[in-house]
Amino acid sequence: MDFPLTDPFFWETVIQGLLFGGVLALLSLGLNIVFGVIDVVWICYAELIMLGMYTIYYLYSDFGVPLPLAMVAGVLMVALLGAALHHFIIRPILHTEPINQLLVTGGVLFFLQGFATLAFSVEFRNLGVSFGSIEAGDMYIPTTRLLAFVVSLVAVVVLWLFLKKTYLGTAIRAISQDRDIMPLMGVSPGKIYLVTSALGGGLAGLGACLLVLLYDIHPAIGLTFGPITFMVCVMGGLGNMIGGFIAAFIFAEFIALGGFYAEIEWGYVMAFAFFIVMMFIRPQGILGSKS
């Protein structure tokens, strides 16, 4: 084998990993904000993304809606689904045992998968949109992946500004620290939870916009991204958005470089092995606090 640092394929792989990391980082944001604020894990998070992808696909392919508009509709659709998930399913059992919330969102996962299979059939669908590649030296970088990466970074910055600079964002940060005293300040926790759920859904919708450009759509696509998104969040420290962001890039590089030295499946094996080892060393996650 050549010395990798002079090998353009090596660098192409590193960059591909970086770009994939951006997508994973975006996917982890929605799950993390919902957990950080409401203390609930949406096991069915990736299935919301799947529904967002179908929304965009049908609007674009069957109804001829221009792609950017279809994507906006997809984001709104999943935001609405997130709010509905909270209002109809999480809220009634919010104060019961945490395991109930895990189980019920797990149930929603299979419900949505079954629903999608019945409604859309198991056929793989593709948007058929390609933006080509950018050539840099001997390397080829697919434009869609670059776009996905940039959108992820912008989303992270916008979310950070929202949380830091607006009253609603400040309330969202505050309620994750002490939910009981919020009403004394005139804040209704129920409303904040609903807004947060819609925000988490909206981020899943944004993830759908990017994935729909990169992958085929089918009812079980959630299983491809659900577990890895979940693991990125856990490794970063559940609810810790910066930790999740770092973990996303670590995971993505493991997968990409594993694929470079062996087959891509070995990348996943190594990433998950690393995850398991990390759980022994730092069970609270990279940036999670002990409690």
Partner 1 sequence: MGEMLQVRGLTKKFGGFTAVSEVAFDLDEGEILGLIGPNGSGKSTTFNLIAGALTPTAGTVTLEGRDITGLAPTNVCHKGVARTYQIPRPFRKLTILENVALSAYFGADGSISREEAWKRAEDALDLTQLPVDAQSRVDGLGAAGLKKLELARALATQPRLLLADESLGGLDEKEMGQAADMLSHIRERRGITIIWVEHIMGVLMRVVDRCIVLDHGEIIAAGLPTDVAHDPKVVEVYLGTDAESVQSQVAGRVAGASETVGA
Using CB under 8 A as the criterion, which residues of the chain lie in contact with partner 1 when the complex forms? 167, 170-171, 173-174, 177-178, 181, 183-188
* CB 233 to partner 1: min, Å: 20
* CB 79 to partner 1: min, Å: 20
Residue 1 or 185: the one with the smaller Cβ distance to partner 1 is: 185
Residue 99 or 185: the one with the smaller Cβ distance to partner 1 is: 185
* CB 240 to partner 1: min, Å: 12
Residue 128 or 186: the one with the smaller Cβ distance to partner 1 is: 186
Residue 61 or 170: the one with the smaller Cβ distance to partner 1 is: 170
CB 216 within 8 A of CB 125: yes
* CB 243 to partner 1: min, Å: 15
Residue 109 or 187: the one with the smaller Cβ distance to partner 1 is: 187
Residue 62 or 178: the one with the smaller Cβ distance to partner 1 is: 178
Dist. CA 228–CA 204, nearest whole Å: 14
With both helix axes pointing from N to C terminus, report the angle between 189-214 and 167-175 in degrees, rounded to the nearest 10: 100
Residue 142 or 189: the one with the smaller Cβ distance to partner 1 is: 189
Question: DSSP assignment of the chain, as one string?
Answer: ---GGG-HHHHHHHHHHHHHHHHHHHHHHHHHHHHHHH----TTHHHHHHHHHHHHHHHHHTS---HHHHHHHHHHHHHHHHHHIIIIIIGGGTTS-HHHHHHHHHHHHHHHHHHHHHHH-S--B-------EEEETTEEEEHHHHHHHHHHHHHHHHHHHHHHHSHHHHHHHHHTT-STTGGGGT--HHHHHHHHHHHHHHHHHHHHHHHHHHS-B-TTHHHHHHHHHHHHHHHH-TT-HHHHHHHHHHHHHHHHHHHHHS-HHHHHHHHHHHHHHHHHH-TT-SS----
* CB 187 to partner 1: min, Å: 4
Task: Give Cα 8 distance to the centre of its chain.
Answer: 30
Residue 146 or 168: the one with the smaller Cβ distance to partner 1 is: 168
